[in-house]
Structure 1
Amino acid sequence: MYWMNSRRTFMKLGFFSSGVVIMNGCDVFGIVTLHDTIRVVHKDLFPKAKELNIDTADYMKIVFNHSRITQEDKDFLKNGVKWLNEEALLLFKTTYIKLSDLNRQKVLQSIAKTDWGESWIRYMMQYILEATLGDPIYRGDKNEAAWKWLAYEGGKPSPKKVYL
């Protein structure tokens, strides 16, 4: 059974680094990685986290592997990356991460006008704030930089292991 557990873990981790196929009408335009896109989106939505050296995108690995987050929610997050890139392609003929800061903001503003986009951005902000404000054991704010920035003293005792 050990190898099954290892294989399962490998497959879960592989999901986060896997590619998302971007379509241009009926043609395949390209493939982007979920992690790279989420890293740039997080920087665009909450630049202070990047400034504080908080790895909010790395925190998403926990989200995608968490047993209490529904597969439907995980699929929505993954599809949101695809739809975001399709919107970037529609507006600027390239993928989201290849755009300038200004054009990435225009793409975010465009999707925010849609029901799925508004929800997807809300989810992204929720996870950004969890990573930023959560206990360092969850790998977002490993050095308590956000806590220091906010002059916050974390709860005691701190968790000894990640709760999944």
Structure 2
Amino acid sequence: MKRRDFLIIGSALGLSPYLKAEVDTGFEKEFKEVEKTIAAVQEHMFPEGSKLPSAKKMNTISFLFQTISHPTYDKDIRTFVIEGAGELMHREKGKFIHYSEERKESALREYEKTNYGRNWLSRIMTLTMEAIFSDPVYGSNIKEEGWKSVQSFGGLPRPETRYIRL
């Protein structure tokens, strides 16, 4: 066997466990438990009728899930997103998603007063803005409405696929 062939086969075998890497089902279960809370926070931050497209219209919760569940995403941040939503649910006794807009604003302002809450809300804001302004190939920024709302356009060259699969 030639050295080159050996290196190619060795590399392929070394990467083989990652080729079929999937999201840990434990993570999926944890995410499902907090998904509605995160979506409600995103929709409160980016409501319908504002200058920017709404979080709901842009399907930002799906983008957030796909982003943080990707195998290359930082596991500590993934955990932080889940735990922060769980903390908000705990603080509001599981009722946050049923609150009026005024009550949601009040609850989020109170959560923001804590260092943990402030950082969590900042992370959710960042992920939501990434969804609204990302290339539509990633499943958000539908019909490029995020770009259009700020009279901008995406960078070139544009991606052809969602994510590099490992």
Deviations 1:76-104 (A, max 9, x none): 11011111111212xxxx52101111111
Measure the CA separation in 2 of the matches of 1:52 and 1:120: 20
Tell me how far apart the structure 1 counterparts of residues 31 and 82 of structure 2 sit (CA, whole Å): 11
What is the aligned partner in structure 2 of residue 14 from structure 1? 28
Q: What SS does the corresponding residue of 1:49 show, helix, strand or coil?
A: coil
Query: Unmatched 5+ residue regions in structure 2?
Result: 1-15
Task: Give, in whole Å, the separation in 1 of the partners of 2:53 and 2:61.
Answer: 10
Give the aligned partner of residue 74 of structure 1.
78
Distance 1:85 1:51, change over 3 A: closer
Q: How far off is 1:16 after superposition?
A: 6.2
Moved over 3 A (4+): 12-17
- Cα deviations across residues 102-138 of structure 1 (Å, max 9, x unaligned)? 1111110001000100000110111011001111111
* Residues 85, 96 of structure 1: 8 Å contact kept: yes
Query: 5+ residue gaps in structure 1?
Result: 20-33
Name the TM-score, length of structure 2 as normaliser: 0.75
Q: CA deviation at 1:145?
A: 0.5
Shift of 1:66: 2.1
SS at match of 1:18: helix
Q: Secondary structure at 1:50's aligned position in 2?
A: coil
User: Which structure has the bigger radius of gyration?
Assistant: 2
In 1, the alpha carbon distance for the partners of 2:95 and 2:37 equals: 9
Tell me, in whole angstroms, the C-alpha distance in 1 between the residues paired with 2:55 and 2:61: 14
Specify the alignment match of 1:158 in structure 2: 158
Give the superposition deviation at 1:51. Answer: 7.3
Q: Does the CA contact (< 8 Å) of 2:45 and 2:125 recur in 1?
A: yes
Percent of matched pairs sharing the same residue: 22
- CA-atom RMSD in angstroms: 2.6
Contact 1:13–1:61 (CA under 8 A) maintained in structure 2: no
CA contact (8 A) 2:55 2:128 kept: no
**Pair 1:84 & 2:88 matched:** yes
3-state SS of paired residue (2:90): helix
